[in-house]
């Protein structure tokens, strides 16, 4: 069972994130960059499947040189090797373009499953499995809270409002996971040391057979026109409950014509 896990490095959602006014893209260079949180669940799920069924877990990421940190994290958790697509021309690409790059990279790998996180905390689009499934002509098993792989068939529970859909597909398939699916392991000291020796192959657009004119901000299918900080909220009213807190709360609601 060979599995490719897609990992994205994102600005830490717990620290201040900014847009770059020079080109209206996410300011990544100066950000506190981490592995996209939900991707850790995807890595864990890949390791669980591999431990049960054998095979190899390959990490695939598209990102600048600094994304090596995200790769090392995944390798230290237990992934076997990595492919890092890095090319200056990719900067500023949108989801449609990145999906073309990932699809080309996947085309050079052998896999039974592709697993990724269901959402990145920076763009919050939740569309990469659908984009890749469409490009590669593979089944899409997205939004999983549970995954089982048996006899060449992958089955998921797709998390929905108030329940789930049972969805199944023959392998190879593309799976995305929510943070309800497992509890990711922490890298062990041994894992961290071992990760330093695991192979990381760096690929450029040329290595993938892609033309630079198909990627990058100038050729994107969407463009950010402008951005601004949310206007600060006016100072709210704050009361301390001295037995009348509930009354004041209800009065406020009445003033808003809510009750």
Partner 1 sequence: MAEVLVLAELNPAGGGVRKTTLEALTAARALGEPSAVVIAAPGTAAGIKDALAEYGAATVYVAEAPEVDEFLVAPKAEVLAQLVQEKSPTAVVIPSSPEGKEIAARLAIKIGSGFLTDVTEIAADGTATQVAFAGSVIVHSKVTAGTPIYTLRGNSVTPEPAAGAGAEQAVSVSVSDAAKGAKVTDRVVEQKSSRPELTEASIVVSGGRGVASAENFSIIEGLADSLGAAVGASRAAVDSGFYPHTFQVGQTGKTVSPNLYVAVGISGAIQHRAGMQTSKTIVAINKDPEAPIFELADFGVIGDLNTVVPAATEQINARK
Does position 228 interact with partner 1 (CB under 8 A)? The reply is yes
Helix/strand/coil for 208: coil
Residue from 38, 70, 83, 147 binding partner 1 (CB under 8 A): 38
Go through the chain and tell me how many residues it has.
259
Closest approach, Cβ 248 to partner 1, in A, equals 7
Rounded to the nearest 10°, the torsion over CA 186, 50, 183, 178 is: 120
Nearer to partner 1 by Cβ, of 136 and 194: the residue is: 136
Residue from 28, 106, 178, 210 binding partner 1 (CB under 8 A): 178
Q: Contact letters (x/-) for partner 1, 192-211, by CB under 8 A? A: --------------------
Closest approach, Cβ 42 to partner 1, in A, equals 13
**Element housing 61 (H / E):** strand 57-62
Place of tokens 């090319």: 87
Nearer to partner 1 by Cβ, of 189 and 222: the residue is: 222
User: Interface with partner 1 by CB under 8 A: which range of 55-63, 64-72, 197-205, 225-233?
Assistant: 225-233
Residue from 34, 131, 149, 205 binding partner 1 (CB under 8 A): 131
Residue from 1, 48, 130, 192 binding partner 1 (CB under 8 A): 130
Tokens at 238, concatenated:
């704050």
Does position 220 interact with partner 1 (CB under 8 A)? The reply is yes
> How many Å is the Cα radius of gyration of the chain?
22
Nearer to partner 1 by Cβ, of 53 and 160: the residue is: 160
Nearest alpha carbon to residue 30 among 40, 14, 19, 45: 19
Place of tokens 């206007």: 231
Which residues are paired to 34 by β-bridges?
A: 10
| Angle (CA) 42 223 10, round 5° | 30
Looking only at residues 55 through 114 of this chain, which bind partner 1 when binding is defined by CB under 8 A? 94-96, 99
């Amino acid at each position: 069972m060979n599995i490719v896990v897609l990992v994205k490095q994102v600005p830490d959602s717990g620290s201040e994130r900014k847009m770059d006014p020079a080109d209206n893209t996410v300011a990544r260079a100066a950000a506190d960059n981490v592995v996209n949180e939900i991707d850790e669940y995807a890595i864990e799920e890949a390791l669980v499947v591999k431990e049960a069924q054998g095979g190899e877990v390959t990490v695939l990421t598209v990102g600048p040189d600094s994304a090596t940190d995200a790769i090392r994290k995944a390798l230290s958790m237990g992934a076997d090797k990595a492919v890092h697509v890095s090319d200056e021309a990719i900067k500023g690409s949108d989801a449609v373009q990145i999906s073309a790059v990932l699809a080309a990279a996947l085309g050079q790998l052998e896999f039974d499953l592709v697993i990724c996180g269901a959402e990145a905390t920076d763009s919050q689009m939740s569309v990469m499995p659908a984009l890749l499934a469409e490009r590669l002509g593979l089944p899409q098993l997205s939004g999983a809270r549970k995954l089982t792989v048996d006899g060449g068939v992958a089955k998921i529970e797709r998390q929905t409002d108030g329940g789930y859909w049972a969805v199944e597909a023959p392998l190879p398939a593309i799976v995305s996971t929510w943070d309800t699916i497992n509890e990711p392991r922490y890298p062990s000291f041994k894992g961290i040391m071992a990760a330093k020796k695991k192979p990381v192959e760096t690929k450029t657009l040329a290595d993938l057979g892609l033309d630079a004119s198909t990627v990058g901000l100038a050729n994107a299918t969407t463009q950010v026109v402008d951005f601004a900080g949310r206007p600060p909220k006016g100072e709210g009213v704050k009361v301390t409950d001295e037995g009348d807190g509930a009354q004041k709360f209800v009065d406020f609601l009445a003033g808003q014509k809510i009750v």
